Amino acid sequence: MNKLLPLGLLLVCIPLSGQKMTNSKKAVIASIEQHQSKLIQISDSIWAQAETAFQEDDSSRILADYAEANGFTVERGVAGMPTAFVATYGSGKPVISVLGEYDALPGISQKAQPTKSPLNEGAAGHGCGHNLFGTASLGAAVAVKELIEAGKLKGTVKFFGTPAEEKFFGKIWMVKAGLWDDVDVNLSWHPSANTEADVQSTLALVDFKVEFFGQAAHASADPWNGRSASDALELYTTGINYYREHIKPTVRIHYHIQDGGQVVNVVPDYSRLWVRVRDTKRSGMMPVYERVMAMAEGAAIMANVDYKISLISGIYEVLVNRAGGEIMQKNLELLGPIPYSDQEMAFGRKIQEETGKPQVGMDSGITPLKETKENPGGGSTDVGDVSWNVPNINLGVTVAPKDTPWHSWAVVACGGMSIGHKGMLQAAKALGMTMADLFENPKLVEKVKAEYTERKGNETYEAIIPEGPPPIGNN
Ligand SMILES: [Zn+2]
């Protein structure tokens, strides 16, 4: 009895989650700080190169080389994509992974300054902060590897280098190749304008190409001999735009006209659009997708042309994991707010002035864990596909001032200077600390897995991609 009493007290005093500042977490933080200048150098190098989807040759190589130099076994060119790789260290269970992205966005090149000025006119820029994303995640994986190497943690850590998030969605092919099959829990993060464990889903989407094939003719001399592919294109988009009146508010339909004919005096014999349908759930998206595809036939009949539809890819909405979010949130709170200098706050306010936002600087606080919304707004991510195949814990960390227009020059600017660097290092620490929690506490892994199983229910995952290799080299 006497012996049991202290144990009872111990159980009361230490939460089951074990979420306090452990020695492992201190070691994670120390590792990130020790490697800080190298991590910033890697991030800045990826930022400056700003390579777009499937072109990330240098960006993926820099990260893969760094993983290899740190003792990871690196498999390059996985799932048929030269710029995808997996870095593994350790052996046995648990297997905890973290993923990183590193692709840029076309046309938004920007210097690391708070007024709009391209670094290279017309070139790409890291308007989604993926230079920070890939580097922070790898920094966290290296910190965990050092703990495994020192015998402080047991198991396997993996870093997934995932290309082409902004276009084509490389993770789908990696999921299809079974790369997460042996993973217990995966972690991810995303650069943001606030800091929080992310427990919101994203939108499912499907991308497809619609082509119309007509007959060319002189636009004035013998237009009756012509059958216009661009007429079909116009009728098609008109149909889509009428249809907007009758879709649910959660649905989004976008199109990009890729080819509407070349010159004014030829009846165009070819036209092409990239069409995208989104909804908060795949179940809502699929019927809209079917309908928007059927409209292509209607447009083709009206314009007396032929048509072809080709699936590009489609991604799942993120399967949220609140149990994992709670672990992450506690670690964010252990880390505390990101401190900013007066110069950084001035940089942030200048960006807000330039983009017409309230000049309040960065949100340095930690947003409390939110309720998970039934119908989230916002964008889509191929992390969704990962999250239907392995429990996934998500994080957002401030790398830009409040209300910054995303995918814009303003995010590029912050990602190449200390505001972005600070967010990156904070993300690396929070990811590493959460991984340490999972390695040290099997009950947490079980809890995260149990929620995943419950949320997934009877749904079976089927990748929304055509047969064959990833569309490398396509537009
Ligand atoms: Zn992104």
Tell me, in angstroms, the distance from the centre of ligand 1 to residue 426's CA: 17
Q: What is the pLDDT of residues 45-58, one digit of tens each?
A: 999 999 999 999 99
How many angstroms is it from 211 CA to the middle of ligand 1? 29
Distances (CA, A) of 140 to 22, 137, 162, 264: 16, 5, 16, 56
More confident residue, 10 or 466: 466
Residue 23 CA, ligand 1 centroid: distance in Å: 32
| Ligand 1 centroid to residue 15 C-alpha, Å | 35
- The answer to whether residue 1 scores a pLDDT higher than 70 is no
- 136 alpha carbon – ligand 1 mean position (Å): 14
Q: What is the pTM of this model?
A: 0.92
Under the banding of pLDDT at 50, 70 and 90, the label for residue 12 is very low
Q: Give distance in angstroms: CA of 400 to centre of ligand 1.
A: 13
How far does the centroid of ligand 1 lie from the alpha carbon of residue 190, in Å?
A: 6
Contact 54, 164 (CB under 8 A): yes
pLDDT, one tens digit per residue, over 244-296 is 999 999 999 999 999 999 999 999 999 999 999 999 999 999 999 999 999 99
Bridging pattern class, strands 392-398 and 95-100: unpaired
What per-residue confidence (pLDDT) applies to 475?
A: 63
**pLDDT at residue 2 is higher than 60:** no
**Predicted pLDDT of residue 136:** 98
Query: From ligand 1's centre to the CA of 399, what distance in Å?
Result: 12
Please report the pLDDT score of residue 383 as a whole number.
98
**In this predicted model, what pLDDT tens digit does every residue of 312-335 receive, in sequence order?**
999 999 999 999 999 999 999 999
pLDDT of 3 strictly over 70: no
> What is the pLDDT, as a whole number, of residue 19?
75
- How far does residue 431's CA lie from ligand 1's centre (Å)? 17
Distance 184 CA to ligand 1 centre (A): 24
The Å distance, Cα 459 to ligand 1 centre, comes to 26
- In whole angstroms, what is the distance from residue 109 CA to residue 120 CA? 6
Neighbours of ion ligand 1 (CB under 5 A): 128
